[in-house]
A and B are shown apart, each in its own frame.
Chain A
Amino acid sequence: MSAVRAEVFVQAPPSPRTRGGWRLSNPGLWLVVALCALYFLFPIWAVAKFTLELPGKGWTLKAYVDVIKEGDVRHTFWLSVQIAFYTIILSLALMLWTVLWTMLKLPRLQPVVEFISILPYMVPPIAFVVGIAGVFRPAFPSFIASQWCLVFFYAVLAMPFTYRSLDAGLRAIDVRTLTEASRGLGAGWLQTIWRVVIPNLRSALLGATFLTVAVVLGEYTIASLLLITTFPVEVAKVNQQEIFGGPALGLLSMLVVALMFAVLGIFTRKRGGTNAAAAFV
């Protein structure tokens, strides 16, 4: 009996230096981290050095200041922000309702909706834009000529991210019980979504929002082939014309997206909400 007791006491509490089964002193772990860091950070560092250390001028922000001063850059950035905003509204309005409804009322359709949500992954953007232009141009020429048509196409492109983020968020809360509790207390569906679902999905909605912004700020093919100059198209143009301005602009747009995710990370950590993880799906 005493031997058993001794064995129990010998078991030390988990070491604070152990995370997820890895010992922090494991050299293999550090090698993997170093390689990943090198792979991702080296190109960024190279771009930063290239754009910040100009020949004959040393370290300077001139490339960034010059490129931001350009009217076309500011105009296209503002256009992309607006397109991103409307895309988020459309995408969330469609997907929140769809995911919630299939989860609550049509669970058998969930695999079908999930499959549809990943279709934008499967169809190459070039095929997508050729297809939609072929269909919409003869039928709705003014629609396809408008810059706002991108909102609809980007909502489709963002669907995999929006769907997954919302699906994970809704699974993290017992949405069936919560919606039934709300309805039982007298709330209609819109009140239930507004007062119960959305407040408990804040992290997942933020995740979906930022991923959509990332899609819009990074999409080039569709906008370019539809002859609409969005921010990414402008970045490509500047890249061809200005040796330092192009990479500077690319780095800036990447920093904007990174900043958004950092804000999301801080927000979800502060709340410690039930669906913090879902935001990053």
Chain B
Amino acid sequence: MSSLELSQVRKTFGGTVALERLDLALGEGELVCLLGPSGCGKTTALRIVAGFDQPDSGAVFLAGEDITRRAANKRDMGMVFQAYSLFPNLTAEENVAFGLRLRRQSAEQRRQRVNEMLELVGLSAQAKRYAPQLSGGQQQRVALARALAIAPKVLLLDEPLSALDAKVRVNLRDEIRRIQLSTGTTTLFVTHDQEEALAVSDRVGVMSNGRLEQIGNPTAVYQDPSTSFVARFVGTVNEIPGVVGSDGKSVEVGGTTIASAGAERFAPGADVQALVRPEGLLVAPLDGTSERGFPGTVVTAAFQGAVVRVKVRLDGNDALVSVDAPVDSIEHPNQGDRVRVQVAAHRAFIEPATTAEPVAAA
């Protein structure tokens, strides 16, 4: 039985559809991220789970029990909000104790639990501070401790890191995952940051226009997107022209044959474009030793730590192609160098060749 389940949940605001028959199930102790651009319905889904909004139709189940019409304060869920939500009139420890006090726990029980939670988020020293005396990251950690203190059946995280600066965001992201694993709390995490979603989730659900486009483990969503939207939203992709192979299961791109689960949608020999990630391409010298790939000219080559992001303008095409080459695998190309871009990926999502101009494979 799923810990949390949304079944055929639909929600409209005025005439706008925010959620269109959303089905989602979270296993016990699982962390699922809903990822998508602003307005895709991910926060609406979270608010329906929390009980702050009611669905037009469909149902929400908690451990098999229908809680669709249950009031928010009766759901036993902890939530961390995007905006800072600590009660300004209370100290950090009083904030953490808030839910415990409502549950009529004794002073001793509260004290123990508060200490335990503040220790978990590493803020024992700040227990007596009021919200305005804490940094943004500290406030969100206290909010997390407050949400976890009541031992919620489900933890809901509504873009809790988006107001923080980059370094704090990464640290707290990892901390959230550590704490979630240590407590084993089933967690629904909403974010528009794909890196964040891929880093912390057991599964990632990518949403667009109120629909769940794809849900799967981060590797599958990244490497094997099931729709064009997912391929484009999660990570960077290059649109490389290709032709569907005669077997109807593969596609030939610049002299390289790669597998594609979507190829059967096209007739053999149809022009398509393959969506290939930057690390699925190689940059080779244009020295005549290979005929594979597309010739082009290096526009920029930016060192990014582990890789060099090379941008190449292919001959006969205005669009730039991004290639991530491991930093020790190539000689650092310079602007203006003539190179050959080759496909190294084993599979790619393909879509009709509607926009891409034909590229002459050398």
| Bound form: Cα–Cα A185–B73 in Å | 6
What 1/0 mask marks residues of chain B from 74 to 91 whose CB sits below 8 Å from any chain A CB? Answer: 111111010111011100
Flag if B98 contacts A185 (CB, 8 Å): yes
B-side contacts of A199, CB under 8 Å: 87, 89
Flag if A177 contacts B81 (CB, 8 Å): yes
* A200-B88 contact given A180-B72, A182-B98, CB 8 Å threshold: yes
Flag if B102 contacts A187 (CB, 8 Å): yes
Flag if B85 contacts A183 (CB, 8 Å): no
Give which listed residue, B75, B76, B89, B99, contacts A200 with CB less than 8 A: B89
Flag if B89 contacts A184 (CB, 8 Å): no
**Shortest Cβ distance from B87 into A: residue:** A196
Q: Does B167 touch A at the CB level, under 8 Å?
A: no
Q: Does A134 touch B at the CB level, under 8 Å?
A: no
* A180-B81 contact given A185-B99, A186-B150, CB 8 Å threshold: yes
Q: Does A141 touch B at the CB level, under 8 Å?
A: no
How far in angstroms is the closest Cβ of chain A from B285? Answer: 40
How far in angstroms is the closest Cβ of chain B from A109? Answer: 16
Flag if B146 contacts A185 (CB, 8 Å): yes
How far in angstroms is the closest Cβ of chain A from B80? Answer: 9
6 of the cross-chain contacts (CB-CB < 8 Å) are: A180-B50, A180-B52, A180-B72, A183-B51, A185-B146, A200-B88
| Bound form: Cα–Cα A22–B28 in Å | 63
**Shortest Cβ distance from B89 into A: residue:** A199
Instruction: List 15 additional contacts besides A173-B88, A174-B84, A273-B88; criterion CB under 8 Å.
Output: A180-B50, A181-B87, A181-B143, A183-B52, A183-B72, A184-B75, A184-B77, A185-B73, A185-B98, A185-B147, A186-B103, A195-B98, A196-B87, A196-B89, A199-B89
Flag if A178 contacts B52 (CB, 8 Å): no
Q: Chain A: residues with CB nearer than 8 A to chain B?
A: 173-174, 177-178, 180-188, 191, 195-196, 199-200, 273-274
How far in angstroms is the closest Cβ of chain B from A177? Answer: 5
A-side contacts of B84, CB under 8 Å: 174, 177
How far in angstroms is the closest Cβ of chain B from A278? Answer: 14
Flag if A177 contacts B83 (CB, 8 Å): yes
Flag if B73 contacts A187 (CB, 8 Å): yes
Flag if B87 contacts A186 (CB, 8 Å): no
A-side contacts of B75, CB under 8 Å: 184
Flag if A174 contacts B83 (CB, 8 Å): yes
Most buried by B among A185, A186, A187, A273: A185
Flag if B99 contacts A174 (CB, 8 Å): no
Most buried by A among B74, B79, B88, B143: B88
What 1/0 mask marks residues of chain B from 129 to 149 whose CB sits below 8 Å from any chain A CB? Answer: 000100000000001001100
A to B contact number (C-beta, < 8 Å): 70
* A200-B72 contact given A184-B79, A186-B103, CB 8 Å threshold: no
| Bound form: Cα–Cα A191–B98 in Å | 11
A-side contacts of B146, CB under 8 Å: 185
A-side contacts of B143, CB under 8 Å: 181
**Shortest Cβ distance from B82 into A: residue:** A177
Flag if A184 contacts B87 (CB, 8 Å): no
Flag if A178 contacts B102 (CB, 8 Å): no
For chain B, give the interface size range. Answer: 20 to 34
| Bound form: Cα–Cα A109–B132 in Å | 32
B-side contacts of A182, CB under 8 Å: 87, 98
A-side contacts of B72, CB under 8 Å: 180, 183-184
Flag if A186 contacts B102 (CB, 8 Å): yes
B-side contacts of A186, CB under 8 Å: 73-74, 76, 99, 102-103, 150
**Shortest Cβ distance from A173 into B: residue:** B88
Give which listed residue, A183, A184, A195, contacts B78 with CB less than 8 A: A184
| Bound form: Cα–Cα A173–B89 in Å | 11
How far in angstroms is the closest Cβ of chain B from A252? Answer: 36
| Bound form: Cα–Cα A188–B71 in Å | 9
A-side contacts of B89, CB under 8 Å: 196, 199-200
| Bound form: Cα–Cα A186–B149 in Å | 12
Flag if B73 contacts A183 (CB, 8 Å): yes
Flag if B103 contacts A178 (CB, 8 Å): no
**Shortest Cβ distance from A202 into B: residue:** B89
Flag if A185 contacts B85 (CB, 8 Å): no
How far in angstroms is the closest Cβ of chain B from A214? Answer: 27
B-side contacts of A177, CB under 8 Å: 81, 83-85
| Bound form: Cα–Cα A76–B71 in Å | 49
Closest 3 CB pairs of A and B: A185-B99, A181-B85, A199-B89
**Shortest Cβ distance from B72 into A: residue:** A183
Most buried by A among B71, B76, B99, B132: B99
Q: Which of B144-170 contact A (CB under 8 A)?
A: 146-147, 150, 156
A-side contacts of B51, CB under 8 Å: 183
Flag if B73 contacts A188 (CB, 8 Å): yes
B-side contacts of A178, CB under 8 Å: 85, 87
Most buried by B among A178, A181, A188: A181
Give which listed residue, A185, A200, A273, A274, contacts B102 with CB less than 8 A: A185
Q: Which of B40-56 contact A (CB under 8 A)?
A: 50-52
A-side contacts of B102, CB under 8 Å: 185-187, 191
How far in angstroms is the closest Cβ of chain A from B62? Answer: 14
| Bound form: Cα–Cα A58–B182 in Å | 83
A-side contacts of B71, CB under 8 Å: 183, 188
**Shortest Cβ distance from A181 into B: residue:** B85
**Shortest Cβ distance from A201 into B: residue:** B89
| Bound form: Cα–Cα A86–B150 in Å | 39
Flag if B150 contacts A185 (CB, 8 Å): yes
How far in angstroms is the closest Cβ of chain A from B161? Answer: 16
